[in-house]
Amino acid sequence: MKKTIRYVLFMIFAASGVQAKVLDATYSVSYGMFGQLGISKAHLETKGDTYVIEAGARTTGIVKKLSRNRQEKYISKGHIVDGMLISDSLQVIRSYGDKYAEKIYTVDHQNRKVTKTSIAKKKGKVYRNETKELDFYSQDDLLTLYFNLSKKMDLAKAGTYELSAVGAEKQNGKVKIVIPDDNRQVDYEKTLGKGDFWYLTAIVYQKIFESNKGELMIAIGKDGIAQKAVLKDLILYGDLVAKRIK
């Protein structure tokens, strides 16, 4: 559950460019026989040459009880250059029960450095507060990366692309995007539905349930918003599905 909501949240909010000043999307996340696990929401707002993205995830139903009301929130702030979102900071907040954890990534573009501050609390008391410099630099974080996809590649052209993003330090910042050729597209249509979509797979090099690399298939509408995402064939319980509901 911990990784599931997190990585689905990152992957489903793919958007094409930043034409709109305000953009909102809501997704229902379900998993096989368990039904709905939670709700994810994203909000993008631009003002002049600056932007803010807020993305949140909360558990629902029996999962809410089992996860002790787990909630996660991601806040990316930065500036816009030639239609690209350039991250200046990424804040990640997680809470469940009496525990609270926060990570703050600060991007120094001039010196091509990224620092991460980690804060952890239990019952309101801080027991960790540490800052370190990461081993890689990127203009993108895990939220801006997907909003910038159409600026980085042709979503209609088959190919494999390796990108980097702040917030993905466990995989040294690497994220792989695979756009299928015509022979593979039928598999995507069967899994995600047939429509006026761009199809792709995002690989985050993390184990999610029993999917070793975290390979998520995504259908993106021509409005640039992800309509559906599926993590396929997990052991025992079937597919993990995120579907846009608003």
Q: Quote the mean pLDDT of the chain.
A: 83
Does residue 196 register a pLDDT over 80? yes
Q: How confident is the model at residue 15 (pLDDT cuts 50, 70, 90)?
A: very low
Residue with tokens 């816009």: 80
For 231, half-sphere exposure in the C-beta direction (CA atoms, 13 angstrom radius) is 30
Strands 238-244 and 226-234: antiparallel
**pLDDT tens digits, one per residue of 127-166:** 999 999 999 999 999 889 888 888 888 888 999 999 999 9
Does residue 18 register a pLDDT over 90? no
Q: How many domains does the chain have?
A: 1
* pTM given for the model: 0.83
**pLDDT tens digits, one per residue of 201-219:** 988 665 444 444 567 889 9
Which stretch of DSSP H or E encloses residue 203? strand 197-203
> Quick one: pLDDT at residue 210?
43
Per this entry, what is the length of the chain?
Answer: 246
Does residue 237 register a pLDDT over 70? no
Q: How confident is the model at residue 49 (pLDDT cuts 50, 70, 90)?
A: very high
> Quick one: pLDDT at residue 189?
95
Does residue 230 register a pLDDT over 60? yes
Look at residues 17, 29, 20 and name the one whose alpha carbon lies nearest to residue 230.
29
Helices (H), the chain: 2-12, 61-66, 144-147, 149-152, 182-192
Mean per-residue pLDDT, 24-35:
80
Torsion, Cα 229 2 150 78, to 10 degrees, reads 150
Does residue 176 register a pLDDT over 70? yes
Higher confidence at residue 85 or residue 30? 85
Q: Which residues contact 36 (CB under 8 A, 6 or more apart)?
A: 28, 29, 30, 60, 61, 63
Mean per-residue pLDDT, 36-48:
86
Look at residues 36, 14, 68, 64 and name the one whose alpha carbon lies nearest to residue 240.
36
Domain of residue 14 covers: 2-244
Strands 174-179 and 159-164: antiparallel
